[in-house]
Amino acid sequence: MPQRILLVYTKAGGGHYAMAQTLHRLLTQLEPEAEVRLFNFFDVGPRWIAQAIQDGYNFAVNKQRWLFTVFQAFYQTRPAIQTFARVLGMRLAPAINAYLEEFRPDKIIYCYPVNHGFRRLPYVRRHQPKTLTVVTDIFSPHLYWFVDTKDHYVVASPEAYSIARRHRIPPENLHYFQTLIDPKFNQPLPPAEAERLRQLWGLHQPYTVLVTGGGAGLKISFRLVKELVGLEGINVVVVCGYNQRLYQQLTAFKEKHRLENLVVFGFTQQMYELINLANVVVSKAGPATIAEVLSLHKDLIICDYVWPQEHGNVELVRHEKLGYYIRHPKKIAAKIQELKTRPPERKTLQLKNEIERLAEFILQL
């Protein structure tokens, strides 16, 4: 009988959805007869809950960071996390359970920390599907990933393994798979394809700066662009994600000043190609972005991070000299000018990407 595998995610942060998408593709390639579904559990509940959690997360992180900081300060203990989960479960649980009864998965893979909530659902308690939580915060995961000490977890770094053990996850429930990013980042873009894309996107200068900040773009993107476009001999590529206001602002700025060296993207599925063409990437401290940039041996400048889960990412980059942490646009531009004119000081990190081994592991559960 073909396996039924459910990949659970949300869009509260881009890394959860990206992980679920990559696993979905790999699982269906490895076992075409398996039925593998992506499931954003907010889609089956009241719309206001999705707006409050997903849209609220993105708004707080990118617009009102203090709100997110207050929420995280509350979210520091197991009782607080479990109480919040129960309150949400009162409205979401019936619809989620109905979906599970309809699909009847024999494996549930969590790409978002909701295993402790799903465990109480009637379908899960009755049928006991095999479960696995893939921790998408690579270097410094929060306690809410490890509330359920009975579940099995995949972690992608020694730092995350230590944090999981500190939160009382037994070693037999921990599975270590390095890095966990899309396998296409294992090797660079072929030179002919890279040249074709440079011509297609009008990247005619010898040095390219990529500015990206996930789905919402970087808060400092516009100020940074104004500093960068004046540097000689560089292309400035900005990914705005879903931030239409930023996209329109930069597009108008490009047209007003006739800036041929400024290329603006909205939401794009071509991050692999863009990172390949870049010499340096300016981004926030998302774990997947850091791993993708370092896998392709590009210079990295982190200009922002979300406390507390991305703080460890910044410290790792700084301590290991894998990149730079610079917040101010003028100082970022100065560092880019310096990198452009002399060899980088950073170390080269050889990352082993084990996402395909993880997909095989899931199929063998």
User: What's the CA angle centered on 360, arms 181 and 38, to 5 degrees?
Assistant: 65
Angle between helical axes of 311-319 and 287-295 (0-180°, round to 10) = 30
Mean pLDDT of the chain: 87
| Interval 143-181: pLDDT, tens | 889 989 999 999 998 889 999 999 999 999 999 998 899
pTM of the predicted model, to two decimals? 0.85
pLDDT score of 29 more than 60: yes
Cis peptide before 343 (omega within 30 of 0): no
**Mean pLDDT computed over 49-74:** 62
Residue labelled with tokens 């500015």: 211
pLDDT score of 73 more than 70: no
pLDDT in the model for residue 144:
85
Neighbours of 244 (CB within 10 A): 12
Q: How confident is the model at residue 232 (pLDDT cuts 50, 70, 90)?
A: very high
Q: How confident is the model at residue 64 (pLDDT cuts 50, 70, 90)?
A: low
pLDDT score of 352 more than 90: no
pLDDT in the model for residue 209:
97
Residue labelled with tokens 């402790």: 116
Q: How confident is the model at residue 217 (pLDDT cuts 50, 70, 90)?
A: low
Domains and CATH numbers, the chain: 4-176 (3.40.50), 185-341 (3.40.50.2000)
Question: Can you read off the two tokens belonging to residue 26?
Answer: 């790999």
pLDDT in the model for residue 155:
95
| Interval 301-346: pLDDT, tens | 999 887 767 787 888 888 888 899 999 999 999 999 999 987 666 5
Angle between helical axes of 14-30 and 355-364 (0-180°, round to 10) = 60
